Structure formats: C-alpha cells, structure tokens
Amino acid sequence: MWIVVLLALGVVVALWQVILAGLILWVLVTCIRWWIAFAAGAKPKPVRSRKPVPIRPEVRRRPAQTRPEVNRKPVQTRPEVRPTPDYLPRWTASRRLDSDLEHAEWQDAFDRRAA
C-alpha cells in the first residue's frame, strides 16, 4: 500500500506544474463560460411548443413477386429413419479392424499364388 502512495506522491511532485496549469485553465474556462452566459447578455432560449414531425403518407406496396406454382420445388424434409437390413454390416471400429485384417490375409494369399 505504501508503494502506491509513494508512487502517487512521486507523480504529483514530478508533474506539479502541469497539474497546476490544468487547474488554472479549468477555472479560467469555467469563468469565461459563466461570464458569457450571464454578464454578456446572452438571452435564454425561448420555450417553443414542438410540432409533431409530419409523416409521409402510407404508400400502397405491391406484393412480392413469387415463382409460378408450376416451377415450385417441394420443401425438403428430413428423410424417414428406416431400420437397416440385417445383411448389411455395421461399420464400427472393430469391424473396420477385422476387414483390414481380412484384406491383409487375402493380399498375402494372392501374392503367394501369383509368385
């Protein structure tokens, strides 16, 4: 905590001239604005009743042009979920491993016959 306090004091000591100039400028600008508003005779703005903003008349819009009924495509829906037939194997990780082993064995047998 003391380090933060010492750093803040160091900044104030190092920049005291800039801080003082800023405060003097702030007071000067505030005084000038006060003098302009009251002493120079600035008139207060008159209170006017506001009129409603005129709105454009509603334009009749044509309906959006669509394709003729003949060329319309049917809406695509999700396909029906059908149970898979029993004769198709399920390709799981173990089934793939088995098929890779089967293929490697078949390749070895084929190479032996060809040689």
Structure tokens at 50: 């506001």
CA dihedral (64, 67, 72, 78) in degrees, to 10, reads -30
pLDDT range class, residue 21, cuts 50, 70, 90: very high
pLDDT exceeds cutoff 80 at 113:
yes
Q: Over range 70-91, report the average pLDDT.
A: 70
What string of DSSP letters covers 60-90?
PPPPPP---GGGPPPPP-PPPP-PPPTTSPP
The two structure tokens encoding residue 84 = 């898979």
Q: pLDDT digits over 22-63, tens only? A: 999 999 999 988 888 777 666 666 677 778 777 777 767 777
The model carries a pTM of 0.32
